Chain A
Amino acid sequence: SQTIHQWPATLVQPVGSPLSLECTVEGTSNPNLYWYRQAAGRGLQLLFYSVGIGQISSEVPQNLSASRPQDRQFILSSKKLLLSDSGFYLCAWRGVISDPPLHFGNGTRLTVT
């Protein structure tokens, strides 16, 4: 069966520090991968998605970037965190023919201080 792993579960980082969040999927090949962010009390905002290795599409221009160095690995990064980067970051995957459409990880709670 397919599983998705996200780490760390919680993270507290100072303003101006770098960020690296990792997501890996097991049990499937060539998944579509997604990064979402949820600010406190808000809905989910799609940040990036990837349909293949090295293919990244950005939905919202901001202080973050994403990379997909391997088929089942998706990384969210920042060179210098801002206070506004605080939030709940969720990774999700979808198979080529997948029903339901998205499977989510358990997220990373990021607090920028």
Chain B
Amino acid sequence: DAKTTQPPSMDCAEGRAANLPCNHSTISGNEYVYWYRQIHSQGPQYIIHGLKNNETNEMASLIITEDRKSSTLILPHATLRDTAVYYCIVRPHNDYKLSFGAGTTVTVRA
């Protein structure tokens, strides 16, 4: 799997957008970008994924650069319940193993 680099932590104000960066400069053409989050003492929760087009769902938006070497997860209106560790993972779509790094600890403050 391609390696990803994320900042270790970031703070965000409640109600504001949270922009979480991820670098994956060695990503291959068949690798997707996946985002998960893990709220304290729970299992990771899937958020969103994409290949090269920007994606949006009810939880977040994913912006992937044209060269696919980096991406940004956007939480449009952060709430206190969005406080969690966010993981960026790249892997082939048909690969059946995921590797999770340290992720970004996001703290949403009132």
Contacts and interface: CB of A to CB of B under 8 A. Distances in A.
Interface string A2-20: 0000000000000000000
Interface residues of A, number: 24
Contacts of A101: 34, 46, 91, 93, 95-96, 98
A98 to B, nearest CB: 9
Q: Chain B contact residues: over half helix, strand or loop, or mixed?
A: loop
A5 to B, nearest CB: 12
Contacts of B43: 90, 92, 104-107
A100 B100 contact: no
Nearest to B99: A46
Contacts of B87: 43-44
A32 B96 contact: yes
A17 B34 CA distance: 38
Contacts of A49: 96-97
Nearest to A105: B43
B30 interface: no
Contacts of B34: 100-101
Contacts of A90: 43-44
17 contacts: A36-B100, A44-B44, A44-B100, A46-B97, A49-B97, A92-B43, A99-B49, A100-B46, A100-B49, A101-B95, A102-B36, A102-B44, A104-B43, A104-B45, A106-B42, A107-B41, A107-B42
The 10 closest A-B pairs by CB, nearest first: A104-B43, A100-B46, A44-B100, A43-B100, A43-B102, A43-B101, A32-B96, A104-B44, A106-B43, A90-B43
